[in-house]
Amino acid sequence: MKHLINILDFSISELDELMTVADDIIDNPEKYSNICNGKQLATLFYEPSTRTRLSFESAMLSLGGKVIGFSDSNSSSVSKGESLADTISIVSGYVDIIAMRHPIEGAPYIATSKSLVPFINAGDGSHFHPTQTLADLLTIHRTLKRFDNLKIALCGDLKYGRTVHSLIDAMSRYENNEFVLISPAELELSPSYIKELEKKNIKFTVTDKLEGSIDDVDILYMTRVQKERFDDIEEYERLKDVFVLDKEKLDTAKEDMIVLHPLPRVNEISVDVDDDKRTMYFEQAYFGKYIRMALILNLLGLSDNKTLKDKLHYTPDNTFKNCIITEKVCSNNKCITKFESNINRYARTVDGVEMCYYCDKEL
Ligand code: NCD
């Protein structure tokens, strides 16, 4: 059984296969319209969502399957104090596949350690958002037609933006990509990501200016300042509008570059640029449905292509790999280990430093 928690759970060739299947679904939707007959998806959304939840649900319905779930955890037994582990044990007995969004980092590992069916991380706190990255990749694949030799500017909230983290992880695996990291100092990419880029010898520059930083980029990835992750709302108010992409700023950018945004946007992209042919965020949301269809088929083993199957074998017992049980407490107050009782704390060592297995913060 295979799950998707982190975009790196899929190899480059598996991602290529997903792109191929998504392209085929876009071209021949009728071929896929009954393929999930009798299958059920549960969408468990403990955090707000429009695109991710609805595109998952629409994806499963367009494959001929059915959907159950909740979009507000207050309407589930969580409000009575049920643990995530118990919820997953129960729900995974009802359905064939689960997509879950949770505000707490590392929560998906609790889920996969209990789930009887394939599990998809639809976003865990500020940590990862691999299915948004799949939508980003499909958009890049269909517009720029390559994943390597790209200069990628990421702008906005690089600290709390989970889409940023998963996209950097994904694009770091391809040859000769370069990053331009544009954020105010308070929202810079965390030191552990910077260290990883340095370790892999990936070129990157850090700046707090949007003007003058995007003239030669192939992709500009704009992001929303993540209001819900701030402890200090005044800090959010101060930072929320630092970058606004408008016609004037886009003027100097390359003709064949693309502008992406996971959406929702607040003020960071002026509506004036929506009709610029380089802006691709609405297409990106549209492609999100098709890549999720390809993902569901892959995880259910219903995909045409044999190479998609059985590359990774997870069972409830082998979620936690290459790590040790530790007594040490994670330094991240938003880590799942602070919220879920009766679980082991696991550590893995990176460059001699002990990190929490669930959320990747130092112990
Ligand atoms: C993103 C998310 O939830 O992280 N939205 C999405 O899934 N398309 C980005 C955001 O909320 O800013």
Residue 3, both tokens: 């799950």
Cα(57)–Cα(232) distance, integer angstroms: 34
pLDDT at res. 312: 43
Would you give the DSSP letter of residue 220?
E
| pLDDT in the model for residue 303 | 81
Residue 285 has a pLDDT of: 98
Q: Which residues pair with 299 in a beta bridge?
A: none
Instruction: Classify 46 as helix, strand or coil.
Output: coil
Would the CB of 129 count as within 6 Å of ligand 1? yes
pLDDT score recorded for residue 88: 96
Residue with tokens 């909230």: 157
Q: Which of 53, 101, 159, 240 is catalytic?
A: 101
For a substitution probing ligand 1, which of 52, 124, 280 has the most ligand atoms within 8 Å of its CB? 52
Q: Please report the atom of ligand 1 found closest to the CA of residue 262.
A: 8
Amino acid at 217: V
Strands of the 119-124 sheet, one edge to the other: 66-70, 40-45, 97-102, 119-124
CB 200 within 8 A of CB 172: yes
Residue nearest (by alpha carbon) to ligand 1 atom 11:
264
pTM, two decimals, is 0.89
Q: Which residue has the tokens 């030669």?
A: 216
129 a catalytic residue: yes
Query: What pLDDT is stored for residue 307 in this prediction?
Result: 42
Ligand 1 pocket residue status of 279, Cβ below 6 Å: no
**Residue 291: closest CA among 2, 4, 1, 42:** 4
The pick from 120, 129, 266 for probing ligand 1's pocket by mutation, whose C-beta has the most ligand atoms within 8 angstroms, reads 129
321 among known catalytic residues: no
Residue 36 tokens read as: 């999930």
d(CA 159, CA 167) in angstroms, rounded, equals 13
| Position in ligand 1 atom list of the atom nearest CA 135 | 8
**φ, ψ (nearest 5 deg) of residue 192:** -65, -35
Backbone angles phi, psi at 336, to 5 degrees: -60, -25
Q: What is the pLDDT of residue 97?
A: 98
Is 277 catalytic? The answer is no
Q: How far apart are the first and last CA of the chain?
A: 30
For 113, residues 6+ apart whose C-beta sits below 8 A from its C-beta are 85, 316, 319, 320
Q: Which helix (H) or strand (E) holds 133?
A: helix 130-143
* Residue type present at position 265: R
Give strand ranges (E) for 119-213: 119-124, 151-155, 178-182, 203-207
Q: What is the CA radius of gyration of the chain?
A: 20
Q: How far is the CA of 155 from the centre of ligand 1 (A)?
A: 14
**CA 189/CA 166 separation, integer angstroms:** 12
pLDDT by residue, tens only, the chain of 363 residues: 999 999 999 999 999 999 999 999 999 999 999 999 999 999 999 999 999 999 999 999 999 999 999 998 888 888 788 999 999 999 999 999 999 999 999 999 999 999 999 999 999 999 999 999 999 999 999 999 999 999 999 999 999 999 999 999 999 999 999 999 999 999 999 999 999 999 999 999 999 999 999 999 999 999 999 999 999 999 999 999 999 999 999 999 999 999 999 999 999 999 999 999 999 999 999 999 999 999 999 999 998 554 444 444 444 456 888 899 999 999 999 999 999 988 999 999 988 999 999 999 999
**Structure token digits, residue 144:** 């720029």
Is 139 noted as a catalytic residue in this protein? no
Reply yes or no on whether 224 is catalytic. Answer: no
**CA dist 347 to 118, 261, 321, 356, Å?**
24, 34, 10, 5
For residues 96 and 40, is the Cβ–Cβ distance under 8 A? yes
Total residue count of the chain as it appears in this document: 363
Minimal CA–CA distance to 308: which of 13, 6, 3?
Answer: 13
Pocket of ligand 1 contains residue 130 by CB under 6 Å? no
